[in-house]
Amino acid sequence: MFRTGILFGLVFFASAAIAADDVSVEEGLRIATIGGCHDCHTDGFAASGGQVDPEKALRGSQVGFQGPWGTTYPANLRIVLSKMGEDEFVRYSREIKTRPPMPWFGLHAMTDNELKSFYRYVKSLGEPGALAPDYVKPGEAPKTPFIVFAPPQMPAQ
C-alpha cells in the first residue's frame, strides 16, 4: 500500500514535469483557466459556470471595473497579442504593470513556457473582434455598464 503510494507519487511527479515543459494550445487553455484570465477577459464566463464561449474567449469586456483608479476594462487579448510575437509577449509579460483589478503580478510569476502556451492559445482563437472601451479617469462618467469596487463599509482607521 505504502509502496504503491510512492510509485504513484513518482509517476505523478514525472507527468507533472512533462506537462510543465509542454508548450501547446491545450496547455494555454489550462493556464488561462487556472490563471483566471477568462473570469474578466471573456464576457459571460463567470455567469456560465466556467464554459468558455469560443466566440467570446478573451475578447475583453464592455463592462468596466470602477474604483479609486477610475474605470478600467479587461482588454481584448486577441488584439493585444496580435501586435507582438511569442518572445516579445514573454518579455512584455515580465514587465507588465497595469491599473487594478488586473492581477499583473500573476504574469510575472508565470514561466516562459506557460506564457508561450498562453500566447499560442490566444493565437488559436478566431477573429480578434473589437477593442474594449477606453480607460475612463476618476470622476468622469463611463458610457458603459460598470461594476463598482468599493467595500460597503470602510474599516475604521
| 53 residue type, one letter | D
- Binding status of residue 48 toward ligand HEC by CB under 6 A: no
Tell me which residue of 65, 81, 37 sits closest to 133, measured CA to CA. Answer: 65
φ and ψ of 141, to 5 deg: -90, 125
- Binding status of residue 90 toward ligand HEC by CB under 6 A: no
> Do residues 73 and 133 lie in contact, with contact meaning Cβ atoms separated by under 8 Å?
yes
- Binding status of residue 82 toward ligand HEC by CB under 6 A: no
Which one among 24, 25, 30, 39 touches ligand HEC, defined by CB under 6 A?
39
Tell me which residue of 96, 90, 107, 91 sits closest to 32, measured CA to CA. Answer: 107
| DSSP of 35-90 | TTHHHHHBTTTTTTTS---TTTTT-B-SSEEEETTEEE----HHHHHHTS-HHHHH
Number of residues that bind ligand HEC (CB under 6 A): 23
- Binding status of residue 29 toward ligand HEC by CB under 6 A: no
Q: Rounded to the nearest whole angstrom, what is the least distance from the CB of residue 11 to ligand HEC in the complex?
A: 29
Which one among 29, 57, 75, 136 touches ligand HEC, defined by CB under 6 A?
75
Q: How many whole angstroms separate alpha carbon 50 and alpha carbon 21?
A: 26
- Site mask for ligand HEC (CB under 6 A), range 107-136, x = bound: x----------x----------------x-
First to last CA, the chain: 55
Q: Rounded to the nearest whole angstrom, what is the least distance from the CB of residue 71 to ligand HEC in the complex?
A: 9
Minimum CB distance to ligand HEC smaller for 17 or for 34: 34
Which stretches of the chain bind ligand HEC, using CB under 6 A?
Answer: 35-37, 39-41, 65, 72-75, 77, 80, 96, 98-99, 101-103, 106-107, 118, 135
